[in-house]
Structure 1
Amino acid sequence: MKRFFLPALLSLALTGCNAGRSAMGGAEQVGAGFAAAATAPLEDFNLRRQIIPTVLLQAQANPYDLRNLNQCTTIGAEVARLNEALGPDTDEPPRQDGSFLSERAADAAAKAALDAIRGTATDFIPGRSWIRRLSGAEQHSKHVQSAIQSGRMRRAFLKGMGMQRNCAPPAAPSWFRPTVRSQR
């Protein structure tokens, strides 16, 4: 009985320490994002704009451009640039960052708190949808979404080209395995 009690007590103490650390991390996350959430109305008045990464603007201009993409390494580098701007692709498994359930819960709580702050800050604006249209914020938001969609389309196209050329990931989907050792 004594042999079981000590490890269980130690495990419980370590779990409590981790939960406290996770809660502190969530509070820091809310503190860091508070200013951006509270100043969200500036986006509605088009006084603050979301920056569109250059790689997404290039994808929007020509999503099927193959100039200088004649090797697996250059295709992979372009996919990596798109991943940096867009985040991981859907074919990639979720990252195993070793986070505990309490850390993920703290992240979710922090996101919910920031969304509530952002919603409260923008809800007080009467005729918000009209202000967004008249200020140009709605048009810019559509431009951002179009650039993101073009970037996703280009990444899918490049991975398809990588498969056709028998490239290894990231120049092809993560599940693809080249059939020949030498790659063009």
Structure 2
Amino acid sequence: MKPILLPALAAVVVLSSCNAGRSAMGGAEQVGAGFGEAVTAPLDDFNLRRQLIPTVLLQAEANPYDLRNLNQCTTIGAEVARLDEALGPDTDEPPRQDGSYASERAADAAAKATLDAIRGTTTDFIPGRSWIRRLSGADQHSRHVQSAIQSGRMRRAFLKGIGMQRNCAPPAAPSWFRPKR
């Protein structure tokens, strides 16, 4: 067992002994839910399992400045929403106030650390891992995923700029933008 795994598990145990028992159980459930993916992480290195790239990101990669059928604020907003779904919230969006307690955030962090340690342990045993990733095509696919993500971010920023130019309300423009009447 890796040294990083012990503190993460200890944090979950400590959190369960105080009033944050439910938070710790939630963290333990996260570890249980993500355990299978963390253990099978070497499948990614051998290119036997691939991360799927959402269609909207592939379209953004092919033509990030495409304005076809985006002549109304509602259609621009819908395209930005599709990109938000694939990429997560944009940097102009305020962080969500989900009402979680510090103990829940701590349990989430402990679960993430535990899963990262498990993933690291399962991939560390592969000798010549970087060469295996290159030869199997996993490295190239990983670069393609990152390129698609970058293109999606660029397209979202472009669309929000077009939305501002056309005096559209958010989400077709940045969240801080207020259209002039």
TM over 0.5: same fold? yes
| CA distance, structure 1, for counterparts of residue 171 and residue 21 of structure 2 | 38
The structural deviation recorded for 1:18 is 5.3
Counterparts in 2 of 1:1-184, with a 5 A limit? Answer: 19-180=20-181
**Aligned partner letter, 1:82:** L
C-alpha separation in 1, matches of 2:109 and 2:171: 29
**2:139 is aligned with what amino acid?**
E
Following superposition, the deviation at residue 24 of structure 1 comes to 0.3
- The whole-number CA distance in structure 2 between the counterparts of 1:26 and 1:83 is 26
In 2, Cα distance between equivalents of 1:176 and 1:37 = 41
State the alpha-carbon separation in 2 of the partners of residues 57 and 131 from structure 1: 26
Aligned partner letter, 2:90: D
- Structure 2 Cα separation of the partners of residues 102 and 113 of structure 1: 16
Aligned-partner SS, 1:98: coil
**Post-superposition shift, 1:23?**
0.2
Distance 1:173 1:125, change over 3 A: same
Task: Please report how far the alpha carbon of residue 17 of structure 1 lies from its aligned counterpart in structure 2 after TM superposition.
Answer: 7.5
C-alpha offsets along residues 81-134 of structure 1, whole Å, 9 cap, x if unaligned?
000000000000000000001001100110000000000000000000000000
C-alpha RMSD of matched pairs (Å): 1.0
SS at match of 2:48: coil
Q: Which runs of 5+ in 1 are unaligned?
A: 1-15
- Residue 136 to residue 24, structure 1, CA distance change in 2 (3 Å): same
Give the AA of the match of 2:166: R
Match for residue 6 of structure 1? none
Please report how far the alpha carbon of residue 30 of structure 1 lies from its aligned counterpart in structure 2 after TM superposition: 0.3
Cα 1:94–1:143 change in 2 (3 A) is: same
SS in 2 for 1:96: coil
Structure 2: gaps spanning 5 or more residues: 1-16
> What is the deviation of 1:175?
0.3
Q: Structure 1 runs of 4+ off > 4 angstroms? A: none
Q: How many correspondences in the alignment? A: 165
- 3-state SS of 1:46 partner: coil
